[in-house]
Amino acid sequence: MNYIAGVDIGNSTTEVCIAALENGRLHFLGSASKMTTGTKGTQANVAGILAALKEACEKLNMSAGDISLIRINEAAPVIGDTAMETITETIITESSMIGHNPSTPAGAGQAVGRTISLGHLKQGNSYTPYIVMADKSHSYEEVADTLNRYAQARNVTGMILQADEAVLVENRLERKIPIVDEVRYIDKIPEGKLAALEVAMAGSGVRMLSNPYGIATLLELDAQETKMVTPIAKSLIGKRSAVVIKTPHGNVREQILPAGEIYIEAEKDQTVNIDAGADAIMRALSKAGDIRDIHGQEQTNVGNMLARIKKGMSTVSDENQEEIRITDLLAVDTLAPVVISGALAGETCLEKAVGIAAMVKTRQLPMEKIADELRSQLKTKVKVAGVEAVMASLGAMTTPGTRLPLAILDLGGGSTDAAVMTSKGTVRMVHQAGAGELVTMLIQIELGLHSRNTAEQIKRYPLAKVESLFHMRLENGAIEFFPDAIEPKYFGSVVLLTGKDMIRIDEDIPMEKIVAVRREAKRKVFVTNAVRALQAVAPEQDLKNIPNVVLVGGSAEDFEIPEMLMEKFAEYRIVCGRGNIRRTEGPRNAVATGLVLSYLGDSHVDDE
């Protein structure tokens, strides 16, 4: 009896399928999956292949040396890299605004007055409304005592604190006022300037100061001044508290950053500026036809990013950088939090940005080097066999309920691949940039997360809010109760439900916002790319000519991406769903299974 193994080296995982050949029939025995070691298509992959083979063989009580033939997928190294290019920026000179979300503002309402430091309050007058400023050199008892002492003699309408002590001060005041705290650079606030301050009720955001006409009302601005404060109003949307200071020479503006141009070398060469946004970039790509290479304008953000990608591939593939080509891009419009120039509390503003995923290929197929290393270590036959998309199509055919013509979407970490197999057995395929890694990046950027691992977990798992020690509210609105108390550390937190345990999200972000960002990121990348890929391979480039689509790959296991694609393809009356390779593997193992199946057609070659 001969044992045959199919090995699929993916961007994120290496998958193995083992079958026995007996009397000309294949009997599938088992499979395994391990993280890919190194960049796909390089000799560093060997360690991951050996680990996956070892795991699969141990399940079958055999050794890797018992395998008669190993078939690995034929593919050039393809990597997806991502970059975020911010294309607008809010510039504020003379520190004209404060607006952030301190955890402990106090009071609620709006206040207008002249700025004055706590130490100068006694020099003020009784008829001018004041917004008092106190740095950390003043204790909360001193601040509260001073305001109470001048409660009748001075018209104090609001307060700005450097320390995190707004509640402590407000609790001791005889006359309550709105207080904003945690203003890091309070020493940069000029005195004697007209300022408007607002603290929103718990659970809501500021209303007047996030509206340019609200600012105009409070600070008595004319039409030109109102236009100038629009970027400030935009940056304060969703903030719990805010202060806007009117400075006579202050300058607020939004400016376009020179992110650079993208040059597409193709049937019809295209040039597009990244400032034009993702839609313009994708239109240029669609007009270009077959793409030979993509590069960026020198000494610009996008130019440096694309050059860095090529340099990285050159290092791992041992090819000259001139031989490395970028054959596809996926550009996505998004919003990225950017620190505002001239702000006083480390404030950020959501600015327009473009996320880019790039697909990179070498001119050679180095898979034979991997095969040589496996032959050397395992002392067995190794053959580089079959194009990846063709093998995935063969594997997908083992899903119950499928028929030809059949389309597959391979949803991976770095790329989204599509193939259509006709009733005659011919296959059309396409590899496109943009998949799970770009989704992770968008989630991290838009939510302002410090950890990429947290963004990856948010992508993978549903959310809940622990509202008591005995129940939680799921993201779909359902309530789940527990017979035993939840650990107190989770109380009041947003958590990820992994199936085994809960993971607490440390950042203070509402569950509803996390869900919205996660779902939108998946739509921008996977739904957009799936439609783009299938249109490229569909007969006559018409999706209506595709009767069914099988989703395979790691991202097809996602808890919501397949449903998004099913909803989208329902418009074209396409049957779409997760694959169930060999009735047992779910959407995984399609390429590895296809490599084993293809042996029967290639056996006369393999046996030579």
pLDDT, one tens digit per residue, over 32-44 is 999 999 877 778 8
Which residues are CB-neighbours of 263 under 8 A, at least 6 positions away?
Answer: 269, 270, 271, 294, 295, 296, 297
The pLDDT of residue 238 is above 70: yes
Q: Is the CA virtual torsion 43, 45, 47, 51 positive or negative? A: negative
Torsion of CA 217, 219, 223, 227, to 10 degrees: -100
The pLDDT of residue 176 is above 90: yes
Q: Which of 411, 435, 414, 446 is nearest to 551 (CA)?
A: 411
- The confidence score (pLDDT) of residue 607 equals 43
The answer to whether the beta carbons of residues 405 and 422 sit under 8 Å apart is yes
Range(s) within the chain of domains with CATH label 3.90.470.30: 81-87+257-361
pLDDT category, 95, cuts 50, 70, 90?
A: very low
Which helix or strand (DSSP H or E) is residue 66 part of?
Answer: none
| Rounded alpha-carbon distances, angstroms, from residue 337 to 340, 436, 521, 523 | 9, 21, 16, 21
Q: How many CA atoms lie within 13 A of 351 on its CB side?
A: 25
d(CA 211, CA 158) in angstroms, rounded, equals 20
The answer to whether the beta carbons of residues 495 and 472 sit under 8 Å apart is yes
- The confidence score (pLDDT) of residue 340 equals 63
The answer to whether the beta carbons of residues 194 and 219 sit under 8 Å apart is yes
DSSP one-letter string for 340-386: PBT-SS--EEEEEEEEEEEEEE-SS-THHHHHHHHHHHH-SEEEEEE
The pLDDT of residue 170 is above 60: yes
pLDDT category, 365, cuts 50, 70, 90?
A: low
CATH fold for the domain made of 81-87+257-361: Ribosomal Protein L22; Chain A (3.90.470)
Helix axes 436-447, 511-522, angle to 10 degrees: 150
Helices (H), 90-222: 140-149, 166-170, 212-219
Q: Which of 35, 3, 33 is nearest to 18 (CA)?
A: 3
Q: Give me the mean pLDDT over the 325-330 stretch.
A: 89
pLDDT digits (tens, 9 = 90+) for 469-502: 999 999 999 999 999 999 999 999 999 999 888 9
| More confident: 493 or 253 | 493
The answer to whether the beta carbons of residues 405 and 420 sit under 8 Å apart is yes
The pLDDT of residue 311 is above 90: no
pLDDT digits (tens, 9 = 90+) for 506-550: 988 889 999 999 999 999 999 999 999 999 898 888 888 888 899
pLDDT digits (tens, 9 = 90+) for 421-430: 888 878 898 8
State the CATH class of domain 96-251.
alpha beta
Six token digits for residue 58: 């141990």
Domain spanning 1-75+365-399+589-608: CATH superfamily:
ATPase, nucleotide binding domain (3.30.420.40)
Helix (H, G, I), strand (E, B) or coil at 493: coil
The answer to whether the beta carbons of residues 284 and 64 sit under 8 Å apart is no
pLDDT digits (tens, 9 = 90+) for 14-60: 999 999 998 888 999 999 999 999 877 778 899 999 999 999 999 99
Q: How many CA atoms lie within 13 A of 531 on its CB side?
A: 16
The pLDDT of residue 87 is above 90: no
The pLDDT of residue 82 is above 80: no
The pLDDT of residue 608 is above 50: no
Q: How many CB atoms lie within 10 A of CB 344?
A: 23
Q: Between 3.30.420.40, 3.30.160.270, 3.40.50.970, 3.40.50.720, what CATH number should domain 401-579 receive?
A: 3.30.420.40
| Rounded alpha-carbon distances, angstroms, from residue 404 to 116, 350, 395, 429, 587 | 77, 47, 13, 15, 18
- The confidence score (pLDDT) of residue 559 equals 93
The answer to whether the beta carbons of residues 156 and 147 sit under 8 Å apart is yes
- The confidence score (pLDDT) of residue 363 equals 62
Q: State the average pLDDT for the chain.
A: 86
- The confidence score (pLDDT) of residue 348 equals 67
Q: Give me the mean pLDDT over the 173-200 stretch.
A: 88
What percent of the chain has pLDDT above 70? Answer: 89
Six token digits for residue 287: 């007009």
Range(s) within the chain of domains with CATH label 3.30.420.40: 1-75+365-399+589-608, 401-579
Q: Give me the mean pLDDT over the 275-301 stretch.
A: 89
- The confidence score (pLDDT) of residue 515 equals 96
Q: Which of 435, 339, 383 is nearest to 99 (CA)?
A: 339
pLDDT category, 364, cuts 50, 70, 90?
A: low
Q: Give me the mean pLDDT over the 581-597 stretch.
A: 93
d(CA 455, CA 416) in angstroms, rounded, equals 20
Q: Given 3-state DSSP classes, what are the helix, strand and coil percentages for the chain, each rounded to the nearest 5?
A: 35, 30, 35
Six token digits for residue 82: 């991502």
Residue type, 152: Q
- The confidence score (pLDDT) of residue 101 equals 60
Q: Which of 466, 381, 518, 517 is nearest to 67 (CA)?
A: 381
| More confident: 434 or 580 | 580
Q: Is the CA virtual torsion 454, 456, 457, 458 positive or negative? A: positive
Give the single-character DSSP code of 482.
-
The pLDDT of residue 212 is above 80: yes
| More confident: 336 or 97 | 336
The pLDDT of residue 432 is above 80: yes
| More confident: 40 or 447 | 447
**Number of residues that this document lists for the chain:** 608
| Rounded alpha-carbon distances, angstroms, from residue 165 to 183, 198, 546 | 11, 17, 63
Task: Report which listed range, 236-240, 342-346, 563-567, is most confident.
Answer: 563-567
The strands making up 69-74's β-sheet, listed across from edge to edge, are 25-35, 13-22, 2-9, 69-74, 381-387
Q: Tell me the pairing of strands 155-161 and 179-180.
A: parallel
The answer to whether the beta carbons of residues 556 and 562 sit under 8 Å apart is yes
The answer to whether the beta carbons of residues 574 and 549 sit under 8 Å apart is yes
pLDDT digits (tens, 9 = 90+) for 125-144: 999 999 999 999 999 999 99
Range(s) within the chain of domains with CATH label 3.50.30.70: 96-251
